[in-house]
Amino acid sequence: MSNDPGNPLNVSLAERILQILRELVLTGEIPPGARVNEVELATRFGISRGPVREAIRHLTSEGLLVLRTNRGAYVPKADAEQVHALFELRVALEGEASRFAALRRTDEDIVELRRRSDNARAGFESGRRFPYRLDLDFHGALLQAARSPLITAQVHLVQQQVILLRTTTPVDPAHSAASLDDHDRLIEAIEAADPERAAETMRVHLHRVRDQLLTYLDLPERAFLS
């Protein structure tokens, strides 16, 4: 069987390799600044280079990899402009999603938001690192309540790049606790059907995450553009 990812018979293989490579990048197994070696990955997976090459192209389009002329694909390192640009976009998208959630939520949405917030808090209080996946689960429930598929699709792409930036940041219990409290305030605003309070709470929350990233990446801060 050909390993050409354009062949319909190989779609599942191409998708699996894409998922595996995305996970290697997002978990930091391939760390920021590292080159993604197409030959080594193909050998590791026991496949031809075609599906690996396709996965690299896809992750480049998502912003999780960058191509350097005559040098191949690399996991990007964070810089101040990238951090600010990503969070400007997150505030715009997730602030609006928070407004929509406050206007469109159902009682079932509130139950699900509280469940996911409680799961994240239980993990934190048990002494585990505040897991980013549980954080994303909470934001996913908020996006579900917003009922805006186009915003959701764009937020998922941006969130992946933020996860990538956070792979090298150390644990900060105070930041984790503050983020969990932000989530609770978001739920209160959404349950109260207060779109402006929900959007402002999200803005404050995302600014907190941005500032923590800049601190631990030792990047200079500048005024957040409004």
172-216 pLDDT tens trace:
888 888 999 999 999 999 999 999 999 999 999 999 999 988 887
- Torsions phi, psi for 212 (to 5 deg): -65, -45
Q: If you search the block for the tokens 């764009």, which residue do you land on?
A: 154
Confidence band of 2 (pLDDT split at 50, 70, 90): very low
For the chain, domain boundaries: 8-74, 80-216
CB-count burial class (<10 Å; 0-12, 13-18, 19+) for 147: middle
Structurally, at CATH architecture level, domain 8-74 sits in Orthogonal Bundle (1.10)
Amino acid letter, 55: A
* Topology agreement, domain 8-74 and domain 80-216: no
- Contact, 136 vs 159, CB < 8 A? yes
Q: Does residue 218 surpass a pLDDT of 50? A: yes
Q: Which CATH superfamily is domain 80-216 in?
A: GntR ligand-binding domain-like (1.20.120.530)
